Amino acid sequence: MYRSLYLLLTSLICAALFLPGSVFASAPDFVSLADELKPAVVNISTSKTVSSQTPRFRGDPFFDNFFERFFQGQPPTTRRQSSLGSGFIISSSGDILTNNHVVDGADEIKVTLADGRNFKASVSGRDPKLDLALLHIEDDADLPVARLGNSDKLRTGEWVMAIGNPFGLEQTVTVGIVSAKGRVIGAGPYDDFIQTDASINPGNSGGPLFNTAGEVIGINTAIIAQGQGIGFAIPINAASQVITQLRKDGRVIRGWLGVSVQPLTPELADSFGLESQYGALISEVVPDSPADKAGFRRGDILRSFDGKPIEQMHDLPRMVAATAVGSKVTAEVFRDGKTVHLEVTVGELDDKVAGTPSAEEQNSLGLTVNDITPELQKSLGLESNEGVVITGIAPGSSAADSELHRGDLIFEINGKAISDSKTFRQLLTKIEKGKVLRLLVQRREALFYTTLKAR
């Protein structure tokens, strides 16, 4: 009997050894990993002076107009506004990488190291489109440095660790897995986010996302207000491409083509006589742009750029941006049932020429918005992708004084439907200064009205 039991146990142990390693693999040693990585992670606190017109009754048109009449001419009051974020040291001489929105508009930036020492930081460079900022602090001793990994090698399901300063709780460690790669959430033209279920909260912005080898593979950037357990990080490879430029020039120089593109849906592909959906459909060509000079037309379907296939619309902006200004490249387009090759000289991206909303449009309400992408529509369970998502709120603006949050969705302004960000901007250009606007907003499952005054 004992011999039979022994043979049974031996067989079970042998069988276990041949099972897939993931079944019996233990979790990484997070304790040792956190101890090793925390010294290179910093807390960032900023302050700035903002002005506000007082007194106000926040959205009540009667009282707003009343007080505007009787308190007209009073200077706006000023106050100090502070915010918190995270970052990580990338050079022993004191270079620190963080999100641009963490330090945007700040007139004072304080960095606190893991050992408790405080430093005043200066901004070496910014890249608002990728939401990155490079800071610098001076210290006599060499500082601990976070090692940068290769985010292209990251796989869905891998363990990751986030370290940061959520809600001012310094050196907070959370763990999770890579939920997905290549997410497009409407944050900007170069969306390519890592999605993770590691807990990311306000204050984590700018902090590192590590793999189990102790390498930074992402920069924690965004959360979806409507979703719990969903956070996003900028792939470190995208940041690595611009760090040198930020050190040298303080800004990032990107290539520019001069087209607006949209996804090629199954219905559109069918209407063009195409069996596949890969490519980007040109909906607009900017006059006198590189694309215009090269002969691109509205309705062309871009299939490849500089020899690289365009599998989906969002590939194109990243490809063009990464191309050196002045380079001559060949683009393959599908036009009138035929394949056409066009040679284009890549220009330099200028935000105003490229169609970014003007300062007046952005500041009338203080909102930065983006289209609702199919991915965001699906994750929020929306019936359509009409409307816009708030991705930024300017300090000291009407929106900053309102109940609006980043991640809120806007569907109407004064009863007029908002189909996309272009419609939103067009409506704003027709709004008179001082006019009170009624907005239909969705936050999580709640739909509500709020008001804003155009400034």
Which sequence positions are flagged as catalytic? 101, 131, 205
**Kindly report the CA angle at 339 between 333 and 340, in degrees rounded to 5?**
60
Report d(CA 100, CA 332) in Å as an integer.
35
Q: Residue 338: which H helix or E strand, with range?
A: strand 338-345
Task: Say if CB 408 and CB 385 are below 8 A apart.
Answer: no
Using a CB cutoff of 8 Å and minimum separation of 24, what contacts does 108-113 make?
Answer: 108/46, 108/47, 108/48, 109/44, 109/45, 109/46, 109/135, 110/44, 110/45, 110/46, 111/42, 111/43, 111/44, 111/87, 111/135, 111/137, 112/42, 112/43, 112/44, 112/45, 112/170, 113/39, 113/42, 113/143
Task: Say if CB 85 and CB 166 are below 8 A apart.
Answer: no
Q: Does 55 sit behind a cis peptide bond, omega within 30 degrees of 0 on the bond before it?
A: yes
Q: 415's torsion region: left (phi>0), alpha (psi -120 to 50) or beta?
A: left
User: What amino acid is encoded at 191 in this protein?
Assistant: D
Report d(CA 247, CA 132) in Å as an integer.
12
Task: Say if CB 131 and CB 188 are below 8 A apart.
Answer: yes
Strand partners, 389: 370, 409
Spell out the alpha helix ranges (H) of 333-436. 359-365, 374-380, 421-429
Q: And the tokens for 30?
A: 């997070």
Strand partners, 388: 371, 410
Task: Say if CB 51 and CB 396 are below 8 A apart.
Answer: yes
Strand partners, 178: 196
Residues 6+ apart with CB under 8 A from 286: 258, 259, 260, 292, 353, 354, 355
Task: Say if CB 397 and CB 104 are below 8 A apart.
Answer: no
Report d(CA 367, CA 351) in Å as an integer.
17
Q: Report the length, in residues, of the chain.
A: 455
**Kindly report the CA angle at 117 between 105 and 83, in degrees rounded to 5?**
25
